């Protein structure tokens, strides 16, 4: 097994992966709050940690990946109220949509996807342990974590106590004008349990009265329940470092006397730039719309094209660039010998690829090595075995790529599609993008997807995406 190193947010260093249980790796990543369809930004941690687990298993480890679903939250109550629906019904529907939208990426599911609403018992137990230890206190039906009782508080996010603000979630709980803000001993403290409010339609019993959990406590409880304290990798978006992960770490340290995770790994944000997606309102790109338009393989190619820790620009241009990369690989696959071993003297690129993934999961460097392999295969002409390329593609979630179909096949099976393609190109030249979009949709209904090929646009069966 290669030495695997990952950047750890707590120490700020690239650290070797040292496992709690030899041969096994436990990963927990914070999942979505299900108040609406997820967007491309939510897909990034899903893809990063699904693929990281896949690589660690390739290296011989047995992996367990947990990605939770936050289905009790202020945002859900607010969205349900706005739609005049029960919050539980909205959360259930959006959980189903989240599963369907991420299923469409074709990466499979995490090993466990716990719901906050189904983890109330362990949450209450964890809070009780904090209260017993003097790290939390009840106040008129709420329970708060006593931040100053944890000497390690601030270590993960590298913040000093005076520069902290528990953020939106806590402001929502008790806005500054709300007299119940006085329930907190200290403004730094954050809610573990929130007393039932008349305008919230879900409620659970607890030793402190009816209410519901705060957001941070669910992850400490779920991670411990499914992976045990001191598991290997805690992941999530860099926007969660403070306060969410700082609070998770504090809750476990204070209740159990041990650190929650051995490594803290954070992915960068997706930044919307350039031309907006036509159907999207504002600057949000719902995952299902991006998938409808570009297909799972281009979306995955786009997501692995940037290093997970860096911000990633999202634009039509970026997605089109990813489509072109997918096209180049499918074009190469056309000339490769399927299911046959690759030449031993091409294995250097495979090694560079795997070493790049072992070195802080550097997917852009791995991708560059894979394209070096493709270039070399193209140079050698037809008949090169595809095994190495298939292995590399599989690790990037692109194992389903099929050899490109050439336009000649379409002309035989669906001549009308060819003329439609020609008319669409004409409309584009005349800058009648509405007509061009309509014809693209018509082609899709007929089962064809347009891709830019080396000699202009080509048609690919939709099933092949
Ligand atoms: Zn979390």
Domains and CATH numbers, the chain: 14-267 (3.40.50.620), 272-395 (1.10.730.10), 407-464 (no CATH)
Judged by DSSP in three states, 209 sits in coil
Q: How far is the CA of 182 from the centre of ligand 1 (A)?
A: 27
Q: How far is the CA of 117 from the centre of ligand 1 (A)?
A: 14
Q: What is the predicted pLDDT for the residue at 176?
A: 47
Tokens 């298993």, residue located: 57
Judged by DSSP in three states, 186 sits in coil
Angular region, 157: left φ>0, alpha ψ -120 to 50, beta rest: alpha
Q: How far is the CA of 343 from the centre of ligand 1 (A)?
A: 45
Q: What is the predicted pLDDT for the residue at 167?
A: 66
Q: How far is the CA of 121 from the centre of ligand 1 (A)?
A: 17
* Rg of the Cα atoms in the chain: 25
Q: What is the predicted pLDDT for the residue at 463?
A: 54
Q: What is the predicted pLDDT for the residue at 180?
A: 54
- Mean pLDDT per 10-residue interval, the chain, length 465 residues: 96 98 98 96 97 98 98 96 97 98 98 98 98 97 97 95 69 48 88 96 98 97 98 97 97 98 97 59 79 94 98 92 92 93 97 98 98 96 95 97 75 78 88 89 83 73 58
Q: What is the predicted pLDDT for the residue at 376?
A: 97
Q: How far is the CA of 358 from the centre of ligand 1 (A)?
A: 25
Q: How far is the CA of 87 from the centre of ligand 1 (A)?
A: 20
Q: How many CB atoms lie within 10 A of CB 183?
A: 20
Q: How far is the CA of 247 from the centre of ligand 1 (A)?
A: 9
Distance CA 284, CA 460 (A): 28
Q: How far is the CA of 183 from the centre of ligand 1 (A)?
A: 25
User: Quick one: which of 393, 405, 392 has its CA closest to 331?
Assistant: 405
Q: How far is the CA of 90 from the centre of ligand 1 (A)?
A: 20
Q: What is the predicted pLDDT for the residue at 465?
A: 46
Q: What is the predicted pLDDT for the residue at 279?
A: 45
Q: What is the predicted pLDDT for the residue at 382?
A: 87
DSSP character at residue 204: B
Q: What is the predicted pLDDT for the residue at 160?
A: 87
Distance CA 462, CA 449 (A): 5
Q: How far is the CA of 120 from the centre of ligand 1 (A)?
A: 15
Strand partners, 190: 145
């Amino acid at each position: 097994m290669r030495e695997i190193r990952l950047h750890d947010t707590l120490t700020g260093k690239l650290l070797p992966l040292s496992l709690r249980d030899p041969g096994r790796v436990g990963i927990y990543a914070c999942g979505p709050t299900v108040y609406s369809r997820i967007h491309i930004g939510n897909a990034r941690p899903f893809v990063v940690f699904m693929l990281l687990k896949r690589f660690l298993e390739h290296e011989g480890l047995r992996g367990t990946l947990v990605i939770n679903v936050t289905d009790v939250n202020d945002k859900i109550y607010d969205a349900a109220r706005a739609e005049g629906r029960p919050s539980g019904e909205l959360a259930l529907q959006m959980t189903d949509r989240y599963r369907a939208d991420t299923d469409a990426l074709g990466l499979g599911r995490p090993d466990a996807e716990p719901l906050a609403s189904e983890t109330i018992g362990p949450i209450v137990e964890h809070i009780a342990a904090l209260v017993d230890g003097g790290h939390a206190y009840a106040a008129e039906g709420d329970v708060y974590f006593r931040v100053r009782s944890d000497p390690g508080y601030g270590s993960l996010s590298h913040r000093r106590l005076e520069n902290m603000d528990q953020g939106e979630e806590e402001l929502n709980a008790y806005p500054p004008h709300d007299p119940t803000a006085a329930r907190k001993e200290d403004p730094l403290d954050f809610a573990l349990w929130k007393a039932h409010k008349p305008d919230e339609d879900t409620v659970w019993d607890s030793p402190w009265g009816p209410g519901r959990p705060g957001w941070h406590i669910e992850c400490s409880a779920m991670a411990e329940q499914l992976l045990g304290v001191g598991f290997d990798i805690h992941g999530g978006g860099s926007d969660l470092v403070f306060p969410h992960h700082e609070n998770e770490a504090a809750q476990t340290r204070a209740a159990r006397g041990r650190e929650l995770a051995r490594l803290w790994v954070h992915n960068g944000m997706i930044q919307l730039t350039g031309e907006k997606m036509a159907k999207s309102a504002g600057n949000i790109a719902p995952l299902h719309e991006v998938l409808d338009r570009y297909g799972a393989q281009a979306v995955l190619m786009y997501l692995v094209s940037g290093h997970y820790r860096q911000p990633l620009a999202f634009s039509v241009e970026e997605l089109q660039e990813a489509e072109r990369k997918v096209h180049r690989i499918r074009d190469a696959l056309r000339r490769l010998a399927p299911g046959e071993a690759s030449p031993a003297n091409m294995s250097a690129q495979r090694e560079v690829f795997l070493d790049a993934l072992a070195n802080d999961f550097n997917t852009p460097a791995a991708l560059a090595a894979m394209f070096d392999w493709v270039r070399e295969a193209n140079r050698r002409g037809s008949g090169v075995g595809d095994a190495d390329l298939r292995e590399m593609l599989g690790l990037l979630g692109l194992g389903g790529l099929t050899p490109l179909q050439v336009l000649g096949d379409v002309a035989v099976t669906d001549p009308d599609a060819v003329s439609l393609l020609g008319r669409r190109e004409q409309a584009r030249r005349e800058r009648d993008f509405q007509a061009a979009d309509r014809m693209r949709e018509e082609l899709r209904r007929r089962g064809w997807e347009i891709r830019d090929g080396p000699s202009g646009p080509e048609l690919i069966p939709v099933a092949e995406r």
